[in-house]
Structures are given as C-alpha cells and as structure tokens.
Amino acid sequence: MKKHNFSAGPCILPQEVFEKASEAVLDFNNSGLSILEISHRSEAFVSVIEEARSLILEILGLQNKGYTALFLHGGASTQFLMTAYNLLEKKAAYTNTGTWSTKAIKEAKLFGEVVEVASSKDKNFAYIPKNYSIPTDADYFHCTSNNTIYGTQMKSFPKTEVPLVCDMSSDFLSRSLDFSQFDLIYAGAQKNMGPAGVAVAIIKEDILGKVKRQIPSMMNYKVHIEKDSMFNTPPVFAIYTSLLNLQWLKNKGGIAGIEGKNIEKAALLYNEIDRNPLFIGYANKEDRSIMNPTFNLIEGTDKATFDKLWKEANINGLNGHRVLGGYRASMYNALPLKSVQVLVDVMQQFEKIS
C-alpha cells in the first residue's frame, strides 16, 4: 500500500512519473537499452536534456528573456559555493533565515565580504525578516525563499538595484511569481522537480563574467552554458525523471494550475493546527510555508500515542528535522489532498482520546 508521504526530501513525486521512470529503467523508449546505460552523448538523451531545459524556462515564463537553465551536480549545497565563485567580487548581501542560508553565507565568506542585512536568528528562525536595506554597491543579494526546517516562506521579494539570487530548493515550481525579477534561481531537484542527485540553476546570462578571479571549470557557470549543461557526464536518470515531472506539471496547468491545490492543502492542515487545542504551530502565521508546515504538541501531551496513531494511518516522514524537533508535514506538488485529510483525521482522533 502506498504511504501518505510527508517526507521533506527526497520526497513524493507523481505516481505516473514513478511508473514511466521505472519502465525506462528496463527499456528506454523501446530502444532495447535502459535509461541507466544509454550514452549521455546519444541523440536520445540530448533530446531529453534539451527538452527539460526548455520546459523549465517555459513553465517559469522566462523563454527568450536572456535566461538559460542548467542541470548541475552537487545539489543546492554546491550552488552556495558556485554563486559566490561566479558573482562575488567585493561584497554580497544575504538574509539569514535558517540553516540553509547560514550555510550559504559561510561559503560566500570564502570569496569576499558578506553583509548580513537581516536575520531571524533571534527568534530561532520562526519568522521572515522585513523592511531591511540592501547595499546598492553589493555584487548581488541572496535570499532563501522557503525554509524546510523551520516552516517559513517569503511571501514577497525586495526590489533591488543589484542582482537578485534565490535558493528556491523547497518551493520551486509550487507558486506563481514574477520569475523575471530574479537574476539567478537555484534549487535541488529532490523537492518538487525530481529525484536527488541533480540541481537546476536558472541564470540571466548578462550577470556573468564580471569577477576577475579564475574560476575552475566545474564551478564556472559560463563553461556549463557553453557546453549546454553537458560539460561532464550529467546525472542521466535524475534529469530524465525531472523531465517526466515537468511534463506532468505542464499537463496540470503549470504553476498556476498547481498553486491552488497547494494553497488548499496548506489551509486544511493549518486550520486544524490552529483549531486543535493539542497542537501549536511553530512559524509566525504571516510567514507560514505552504510547503513545509511545522508544528508541535502542547506540553504534557502524550507524544507516544500520537506517533502510534499517525504511523498506523500509513503516514510517513512526519517527524520534524533534528534541529527543531516536533513535526513537519512537507506537502509538495504531488502530495494529494486526501493525504492531508488523513493527517487531519488522525489529529482529530488524537484530540478525542486525549
């Protein structure tokens, strides 16, 4: 029986994507070869990666606007490094909204001055800072749109004269935004796009080539662009599965089509968290993530009984991150509303027997 998967990542993907990907593992497009063994230089795979790169730009509304999409190794953590390697000449501005932005700041400091323009560390990252100033002489401004650990999400983005860089790993492709306001977007695939093992970077090409340092080839965005994201052997299966998921999303009406469902799922769970006297939400209400609601039991409540109930209900991945504890219900694009309803039913059952 398929579990109700609230895992933060690697996470749930659509069932039809799993089925098509598994078929390709045995025989890719009736070629007599597995997707795992075809050459990355073959015409068959080149068409896969070209379609995936094009489809990302189409879904984001960035076609013919000077952007390119790259599939890269190393997940978003390598992008912490690559962003600074390619863009930081003297000074960069960052907001610190949690574990991942803290790590991004650490990597950037290897290359130049980092100005932390705002932080929510004072409240253990339970909110999104607002009303901060970004230095006009910064090489770029970096933010993290959604925080999986603490369950916060930026609802708007600052207008700035400097290039805007955003780590969208955990809410990529989940909500409608003006993506042209960003000069660089990066994301690990393993939330809303595909399996672990690949990251995507969407880059406005005119921001590159402005640092004086020599950049190693593997860290150089321009090299990857020139080689059409094929500078070295790409993670073939992860990219193919990402393509399947992008096709699924397009058939669902794209981001606009999926956003309403994501809002509905979040509203259902948050309404129960706020109604049920045994639970309390973690993040400030105005900054709550629609992807990663975080919550806890009130003090003195029988955690063992609640844990037993949700596990018996065939729910998976509900435990919070080890940094925060409590519970986290990650509700990515492919999670059906009925799974959220099962969790809400368990919470109401727990209320009745407590």
pLDDT band at 249 (very low <50, low <70, confident <90, very high): very high
> Is residue 136 located within the same domain as residue 40?
yes
Residue 196 has pLDDT above 90, yes or no: yes
Q: Is residue 282 part of a domain?
A: yes
Q: Is residue 141 part of a domain?
A: yes
> Is residue 124 located within the same domain as residue 137?
yes
Per-residue burial over 144-167, b = 16 or more CB atoms within 10 Å of its CB, e = otherwise = bbbbbbbbbbbeeebebebbbbbb
> Is residue 36 located within the same domain as residue 72?
yes
> Is residue 80 located within the same domain as residue 155?
yes
| Count of domains observed in the chain | 2
> Is residue 215 located within the same domain as residue 285?
no
> Is residue 205 located within the same domain as residue 289?
no
Structural domain ending residue among the three candidates 197, 221, 251:
251
pLDDT, one tens digit per residue, over 299-310 is 999 999 999 999
Q: Whole domain around residue 347: which residue ranges? A: 255-353
pLDDT, one tens digit per residue, over 126-147 is 999 999 999 999 999 999 999 9
Structural domain ending residue among the three candidates 233, 251, 269:
251
Here the CATH number for the domain that contains residue 121 is: 3.40.640.10
* Beta strands across the sheet bearing 279-281: 279-281, 294-297, 327-328
pLDDT, one tens digit per residue, over 210-246 is 999 999 999 999 999 999 999 999 999 999 999 999 9
Structural domain ending residue among the three candidates 197, 223, 251:
251
Here the CATH number for the domain that contains residue 325 is: 3.90.1150.10
**Where in the sequence numbering do the catalytic residues fall?**
100, 167, 191
Q: In whole angstroms, what is the distance from residue 50 CA to residue 64 CA? A: 15
Q: Is residue 34 part of a domain?
A: yes
How long is the chain?
354
Q: Is residue 4 part of a domain?
A: no
> Is residue 178 located within the same domain as residue 271?
no
pLDDT, one tens digit per residue, over 154-189 is 999 999 999 999 999 999 999 999 999 999 999 999
> Is residue 216 located within the same domain as residue 179?
yes
> Is residue 207 located within the same domain as residue 320?
no
> Is residue 63 located within the same domain as residue 202?
yes
Q: What is the DSSP string of 208-260?
A: -S---S---GGG-HHHHHHTTT-SS---HHHHHHHHHHHHHHHHTTHHHHHHH
Q: How far is CA 89 from CA 83, 239, 320, in A?
A: 11, 32, 38
> Is residue 218 located within the same domain as residue 124?
yes
Q: Does pTM surpass 0.85?
A: yes
**Average pLDDT of 204-210?**
97
